[in-house]
Structure 1
Amino acid sequence: MKYLESTYYFDFEKESVQNLISELNTDIISDTEKTIRIHNKVRDNWKYDPYSISLLKEKYKSSHIAKKQSGNCVEKSIILIACLRALKIPARLHLGKVKNHIAVERLTEKFGSNELTPHGMVNVYLKDKWLKMSPAFNKSLCTKLNVEPLEFDGENNSFLQQYNSDGTRFMEYIDDYGHFEDVPLDFMERNIKEHYPHIFDTDETIKEFKL
């Protein structure tokens, strides 16, 4: 299956990725349990940071992301997919556009909008079906925002924190770009430039941002 293959971006044969799955690389643990464990590791071991954006190919290699301490939703999805493929569990990248409703002041200031795009999540194939999951928001951030962290049980989709613990609207999907076999960097660059043109006002050639 093509969703098990190593690619330029999902270079899971590299040591930095292999180290992440070393304790899971056994037949004693089920694929479902492996998926739950690596989902939780990626969710919580990389702090969510939507304000660092790169359009450089090498920055989206899973072996590079594995050495970082933070990442945006696409980066965290890439490292999770690479780990799953390394464990022989089919996985692919899914992109969309989301709107946040809580703690949006900085988002609006930096992006000119409370909409984030492209937003990344993961499709994983377990028990003969594709499931959606998102490792983006780490537990400590969820606590700060009064939102329950997303828990993946291996049976159901787990990709949307619609409300916070008080019942206030937190997040909604407003567009779905579908799934991809590999990282569609050209599409991502066009998408970012279309939605946030002000970032490129001073220099169209700029490839990295810290907003």
Structure 2
Amino acid sequence: MSEADGNAALQPTAFIDSQSEPVRDFVDRHAGTGSDRERAIRLYYAMRDAIPYDMRHFGIEPHLFVASNVLAAPAAFCVPKAIALAATARAAGIPARIGFADVRNHLSTPRMLELIGTDVFYWHAFTVLHLDGQWVKATPAFDLAFCRKFNVKPLDFDGRSDSIFHEFDPDGRRHMDYVLDRGSYDDMPIETFAAEMRSHYPRLVAASIAERT
């Protein structure tokens, strides 16, 4: 990692507001002491389970993606949770970025399939952390309660290898396939993301806006 890349991955941004009081309070409560890897692992599990995953909280309004707002939300989907983890990592002095990929969800609910019209989840998000000289992926999306409810194997994170969705569920059924890596970003690419959501999921976007108006 170059010095420029490292500096960019540590700076607060409009969405990864790592300087904000809610983000720093979260770090103080959960990061603890020890190496960057040990603290990143604690932050990962705290973020995974502190904010329930719920696609009913999907939206494209910019305020939904500000990390300090995410920490105050009753629930969130994968993108805000990945942003919030990146913010807490940066606040703890750990370089972090936001990564995106398109994934095929073989176990999506009928209601979700009706809304999005496909089993592909475009622009699924995870956090990319720089630990022990390498970038590793951490996916804090599905909280433990969600996993138990839907019989999904929870994702663990050891700070050394990528933590991404399992290919199969506990019963051996196909679960997630990663079909396209969209790279990683120093801040949330909100305009691109919003445009992609309007293009791929017009019904879901319309429903989310109607829910909040």
Contact 1:90 1:124 in 2 (8 A): yes
2:162 to 154, 157, 160: 157
- State the 1:76 CA deviation: 0.3
| Aligned residue-pair number | 206
Q: Which one has a larger percent strand, Structure 1 or Structure 2?
A: 1
Q: Which one has a larger percent helix, Structure 1 or Structure 2?
A: 2
* Aligned residue in 1 for 2:16: 10
SS in 1 for 2:188: coil
CA distance in 2 between partners of 1:63 and 1:141 (Å): 23
SS in 2 for 1:54: coil
- State the 1:140 CA deviation: 1.2
- Are positions 1:109 and 2:110 aligned together? no
Contact 2:54 2:77 in 1 (8 A): yes
What's the TM-score once normalised by structure 2's chain length?
0.90
* Aligned residue in 2 for 1:71: 76
CA distance in 2 between partners of 1:78 and 1:20 (Å): 14
- State the 1:209 CA deviation: 5.4
Q: Which amino acid in structure 2 is aligned with residue 12 of structure 1?
A: S
- Are positions 1:33 and 2:34 aligned together? no
- State the 1:16 CA deviation: 1.2
- Are positions 1:171 and 2:176 aligned together? yes
Contact 1:43 1:138 in 2 (8 A): yes
* Aligned residue in 1 for 2:209: 208
Percent sequence identity over matched residues? 30
* Aligned residue in 2 for 1:20: 26
Structure 2: gaps (5+ residues): 1-6
Pair 65,195 (structure 1): closer, same or farther in 2 beyond 3 Å: same
Pair 143,199 (structure 1): closer, same or farther in 2 beyond 3 Å: closer
Bigger shift: residues 128-137 or 9-18: 9-18
CA distance in 2 between partners of 1:130 and 1:169 (Å): 27
Contact 1:53 1:209 in 2 (8 A): no
